[in-house]
Amino acid sequence: MMGVEERVPSHSDEFQESEHPKKKMQRLVCAPVCWFKMLGEELHWSFVFGVIIVYGMSQGLGGALSRVGTDYYMKDVQKVQPSEAQLYSGITSIPWIVKPLWGLLTDAVPISGYQRRPYFVFAGSLGVVAMLFVSLHKNLHIMLALLSLTAASASVAIADVTVDACVAQKSSIHPSLAADMQSLCALSSSIGALVGFSVSGIFVHLIGPQGVYGLLTIPSGLVFLVGVLLKERRASSFAFEQINENFLNAGKSMWKTLQYPDVWRPCLYMYLSFSLSLRIDEGIFYWITDSPAGPMFSKQTIGYIMVIGSAGSLLGAILYQYGLKDYPFRNLLFWAQILSCLWNAGFGSGAALELKTGDTRLLVCGDGCKCFPADRMLQTDATSCYKLEVVPTWH
């Protein structure tokens, strides 16, 4: 027909169609950068830097290197049995059990007018001294080594509690960014652990467990740097005679807060979910590395196996950030717990199958996948719930 003209595709249209996938990829790459920029502008860059250092370098990368290095240090250097190694592991975790004590200290005892910065400085200094002490003494007595490793664990726990307090304060000021802050913590920890486990076996093989301890002074030094750079308003003059009163008031506030059902129920849930679990990690480690009946994996292979769990943890953090952070807490916790139970049940069935068939790969991969995405989502969402409801109420 005369009035109807068929439009012929022009060269510019073809260029736009070909450019569309490039723009989509560009937006995909720029999205994390814009997200970090937004967090830096809203929360201050020093806070974002502190979260990345504490969760990514200290707990993620440092925790991965420390776990593999300590396993080989106990087995090859100290030459202890699996039952002893498990006992010593429990002792070094005591600083994490008494985390409320560190929290009370950061709240009730400011130093030089600051509540957070001095504790980062102290934690970093303690970690550097402890790691240097273990790394520079070859024939160190087990008790001295245990004391140093416990001090190093305390340095990480103190930094963790302090940065959690910073996150809690920021969550109360910017409640709309609370989920983003939890995603930042989870992503930093997962990426750090992924990198750490990838290189942990290689470093243990090249420089030995004590050399790895020497490398762990770097994350501790960065925690010290966080204490120097963190932006924190200095409080008015503080009389140390008020310490007892502050501790008493903080204890009363904590007890009063724990009486609310919206507080003690999430606390009990987190305790039952994360604390009451049987750990036989050291026994499994000895079996897969030193037992004639086991697969006799090399140091590099041990690190790569643990990478599987870190990758699952990272996937869970990404799923939470980009698809699940706006869903109700209770629904997420419920379904994440169900998925976690199903995964653990499947792993138990795999272990039973391994005992019958002798296929060790199934059992080892199951152990490496303990940080299944459901577990990371469960931990991230439960922690976010805790910091939104419990900590601001306490403060």
| pLDDT per position as a tens digit, 219-232 | 999 999 999 999 98
Q: Quick one: pLDDT at residue 14?
A: 47
Asked if residues 170 and 230 have their Cβ atoms less than 8 Å apart, the reply is: no
Mind listing the pLDDT tens digit for each residue in 294-316? 778 888 888 888 887 777 777 77
Q: Quick one: pLDDT at residue 64?
A: 93
Question: Where do we find the tokens 């087990």?
Answer: 142
Dist. CA 181–CA 177, nearest whole Å = 6
Residue 127: which of 152, 102, 145 has the closest Cα?
A: 152
Question: Where do we find the tokens 């740097």?
Answer: 225
Dist. CA 115–CA 105, nearest whole Å = 9
Asked if residues 53 and 225 have their Cβ atoms less than 8 Å apart, the reply is: yes
Confidence band for 237, pLDDT divided at 50, 70 and 90: low
HSE (side-chain half, CA atoms, 13 Å) at 188: 21
**Token pair belonging to 171:** 């969550």
Q: Quick one: pLDDT at residue 195?
A: 93
**Token pair belonging to 125:** 């200094």
Residue 96: Cβ within 10 Å count: 14
Confidence band for 76, pLDDT divided at 50, 70 and 90: very high
3-state secondary structure of 114: strand
Q: Quick one: pLDDT at residue 156?
A: 96
Confidence band for 4, pLDDT divided at 50, 70 and 90: very low
Q: Quick one: pLDDT at residue 105?
A: 86
pTM of structure = 0.78
Q: Quick one: pLDDT at residue 83?
A: 87
Mean pLDDT of 82-88: 90
Q: Residue 197 above 80 pLDDT?
A: yes
Q: Which residue has the higher pLDDT, 25 or 203?
A: 203
Mean pLDDT of 351-358: 46
CA 392 to chain centre: 21
